[in-house]
Amino acid sequence: MNARSQTFELSLIGNQTYDAVSSIFHTILLHRTLGKFNNYEGTNKYKMGSIGYMDVTCDFIDLHYVCCSSSALCSLVNGEILKFSNAIHESENHGYNTGQISLEFFERRPQKWPLYSDCVPWEIWTVRLDLVSVTLNNLSDYPRKLGQVIGDKIIHITDIMNRHENYIPVVSNHTDLEYVFNTSLPDVQPYLFKLDYSINGPSSAVSMGSTVRKLLRETFSF
């Protein structure tokens, strides 16, 4: 199965990295998270819990966006976005001003023991960033312009999510939940996902342990 992929390219100031990535990834996760499933014991019937929402105001971009109010999900995602933001900031000191971070959704395909489950991606969202320098004359207007750009991308994300022909993995019974969803969170159930990032672009020749790092492993443990 070929995974759907979507890439957004942004030019921004270094301190806008966290806001930009957070607004895009949390918008995506808003559409890829369900309420917690509660199974009726002894049956395949279940009740789905509710999801809370909250409005977020960006610090360095003129933009508001909506995300799930799950503190566990926000902590999981925001912590990793912050690591990427700090890494790309640090890379500026070494002459690198580009990078990318990807949000990948996948499902697990069970294998016969003793093999691990096979992880198959079905949707990948990538944000590519180019850090730029802005003159003082243009600095005050840059948050507004970037907010408009990202606002258009959020609308585009919503449009993609509403396309019914898009593949989304399904669960046939309660025992299969862990193959499709992250069931470790206490209040919500997002589709299984992971985040990866690279600094100085995906095609640059880099050495392990320097500018390329894998920051978020699978959101479950085998």
Per domain, the residue ranges of the chain are 4-213
CB burial class (10 A; 0-12, 13-18, 19+) of residue 166? Answer: exposed
pLDDT in tens, the chain (222 residues): 688 999 999 999 999 999 999 999 999 999 999 999 876 555 666 778 889 999 999 999 999 999 999 999 999 999 999 999 999 988 877 777 899 999 999 999 876 665 556 789 999 999 999 999 877 777 888 999 999 999 999 999 999 999 877 889 988 777 788 999 999 999 999 999 999 999 974 444 333 333 333 333 333 332
How many Cβ atoms are within 10 Å of 100's Cβ, its own excluded? 22
Alpha-carbon separation of residue 161 from 5, 154, 176 (angstroms): 13, 11, 24
> Closest Cα partner for 139 from 18, 10, 22, 16?
16
pLDDT recorded at residue 159: 95
Q: Which residues contact 36 (CB under 8 A, 6 or more apart)?
A: 48, 49, 185, 186, 187, 188, 189
- Can you tell me the distance from the alpha carbon of 49 to that of 72, in angstroms, rounded to the nearest whole number? 16
pTM of the model: 0.84
How many CA atoms lie less than 13 Å away from 107 in the CB half-sphere? 17
- DSSP assignment, residue 117? P
CA separation for the pair 69, 71 (Å, rounded): 6
Q: Evaluate the omega torsion of the peptide bond into residue 169 and state whether it is cis, within 30 degrees of 0.
A: no
Judge whether 101 and 87 are in contact, CB under 8 Å.
no
> CA 78 to CA 206: how far, in whole Å?
26
- Angle formed by the axes of helices 142-161 and 17-31, to 10°? 20
Which tokens sit at 95?
């002459």
What pLDDT does residue 97 have?
Answer: 87
Q: What is the DSSP letter of 180?
A: H
Say how far apart CA 109 and CA 208 lie, in whole Å: 29
